[in-house]
Amino acid sequence: DTEVTQTPKHLVMGMTNKKSLKCEQHMGHRAMYWYKQKAKKPPELMFVYSYEKLSINESVPSRFSPECPNSSLLNLHLHALQPEDSALYLCASSQGFSYSHGYTFGSGTRLTVV
Amino acid sequence: GENVEQHPSTLSVQEGDSAVIKCTYSDSASNYFPWYKQELGKGPQLIIDIRSNVGEKKDQRIAVTLNKTAKHFSLHITETQPEDSAVYFCAATTDSGGYQKVTFGTGTKLQVIP
């Protein structure tokens, strides 16, 4: 299995809703990442988990809450989002060191906040 | 921190012609340089990569070159086909405490005209 699976593919939520994005990989990768991508822009790093511990939080607002239940799963919990949070949310995984391979990205969740 | 510049931002070529995308980086600690292709509505996909101890790498119609002294690296696509149309991101990577720290370029939208 060489894929990163993200669900759901599309999500529309109101500003008072609570929802979660899910990401799963079975490649044995010990680093997992959440990225946010706006149209015509490169991916922007949000969070990094290394060996199931949060290593980086790029000053992301608390309405985004990451969780890594085990080495294969990564969640992003969403609460009280704003319309400007509408974007493509990408999950990626990798080995801890680049000597093996770069990132494997999922197909993303297209999030619309109304 | 690392800064990656990418040019051009858009590129149109006739089918069968070659396409070249250029990137520069600033941090001499970067040691791994992947290239990602992102098709509409999908996550980025790693298409080729090069390590800092290698000057050139080729995979069928795609090649990447690295000039470590000048901190330049480039993607070359020969005999372009319509399915090469996508956004391409270069990236510079450093290894950091069990994960890969990646800085993306700003992206190049390649259009191959049949």
pLDDT digits (tens, 9 = 90+) for A31-86: 999 999 999 999 999 999 999 999 999 999 999 999 999 999 999 999 999 999 99
Residue with tokens 């809450």: A65
| Bridging pattern class, strands A10-13 and A109-113 | parallel
Alpha-carbon distance of B80 to A8, in angstroms, equals 34
Do residue A104 and residue B104 have CB atoms under 8 angstroms apart? Answer: no
Inspect the interface and report whether the beta carbons of A102 and B93 lie closer than 8 Å.
yes
What are B32-80's pLDDT values in tens digits?
999 999 999 899 999 999 999 999 999 999 999 999 999 999 999 999 9
Chain A environment of B42 (Cβ under 8 Å): 107-108
- The SS3 of residue A85 is helix
Angstrom CA distances, B108 to A14, A79, B20, B34, B92, stand at 33, 34, 10, 14, 16
- A40–chain B Cβ distance below 8 A for any pair: yes
Residues B43 and A42: their CA atoms lie apart, in Å, by: 11
Identity of the residue in B43, B49, B109 whose CB atom sits nearest the CB atom of A106: B43
Nearest CA in chain A to B90: A42
Chain A residues in contact with B51 (beta carbon < 8 A): 98-99
List the single residue in B41, B42, B93 with the smallest CB-CB distance to A98. B93
CA distances (Å), origin B34, targets A8, A64, B16, B102: 27, 28, 24, 9
